[in-house]
Amino acid sequence: MSRRAAFPALLAVLAMLPAPLALAQARPCPPGTRVLRQDAAGSLLPAASRVTLPGGMHLDGIGVGAREIELRLSSPDGFRCTASLVAPDRPGAATHRRWLALAPSGDPRCRDAGDLLLAAIDDALPGSPWVECRADVPATEALALPAGSGTSRPLVLAVGALGLLLAGIGLVAAIVLSFRREED
C-alpha cells in the first residue's frame, strides 16, 4: 500500500475505534439492566406444549436467553422458523401481554404460532420473568437488555443536528456542483 493510501486507511481504522471500545465495555448483566430469569424456563415448556398451533406447526424447542425467549417451530412440509418473545417495552413488538411481547416476524405462520404461544407462556408465568442486575449480583451468562436511559438530551439533540446538517450540506453542495462547469 502506498503512503498516500495509508493515511485514509489509518483514518478508517480510527473511525472504527468506537466499536472495539464498546465491545470491551460490554459486561454481562451490568447494574441497571435486566435479564430473563433462567429458572423461569421450567414452567414454559409444559404450558407451550399444550397449545395447538395453526397450520400443523410444531414446537421443536424453547431457548431462554438473557433478553429473549426463542421458540423454535417447524411444520410437516419442512418449513422452519423461530419466534422471539421479548420484553413488552421493546419498541415495535407485534403483540404484547403482561410480561412478554412477540418480536416482529415477517412470516405469518411464525407470527400466528408465536401469538398463541405468547399467550400460553405469559399466562403460565407466575410473575415477572425479568430480574434487575445489581452490583452485588453475579453476572448471568449472556448480555443484558439496557433497562433505562443512558443518553443525555443535549447529546441526542446534537447528534440529530449533525445528521440534518450533513444532509443539508450535501443538498446544497450537489446543487452548486451541478451548476458548475465540468473541469474536464
Tell me which residues in 10-39 interact with other proteins (CB under 8 A). 11-12, 14-16, 18-19, 22-23, 26
- In this structure, what are the phi and psi dihedrals at residue 156, rounded to the nearest 5 degrees? -60, -45
Which region among 30-38, 97-105, 133-141 touches other proteins (by CB under 8 A)? Answer: 97-105
Min dist. Cβ of residue 136 to other proteins (A): 24
According to CB under 8 A, which residues from 114 to 143 bind other proteins?
A: 115-116, 118-120, 142-143
- Cβ distance to other proteins smaller for residue 136 or 179: 179
Asked whether the CA dihedral 158, 163, 168, 169 is positive or negative, the reply is positive
Number of residues interacting with other proteins: please give it, by CB under 8 A. 90
C-alpha cell read off for 130: 425479568
| Min CB(26)–other proteins separation in Å | 5
Q: Cα–Cα distance between 110 and 53 in angstroms, integer?
A: 10
92 binds other proteins (CB under 8 A): yes
Total Cβ atoms within 10 A of residue 103 = 21
* Phi/psi-derived region of residue 92, left when phi > 0, alpha when psi is between -120 and 50, beta in every other case: left
Nearest-Å Rg of the Cα atoms of the chain is 24
Q: Which of 30, 37, 111, 131 binds other proteins (CB under 8 A)?
A: 111
For position 146 contacting other proteins by CB under 8 A, the verdict is yes
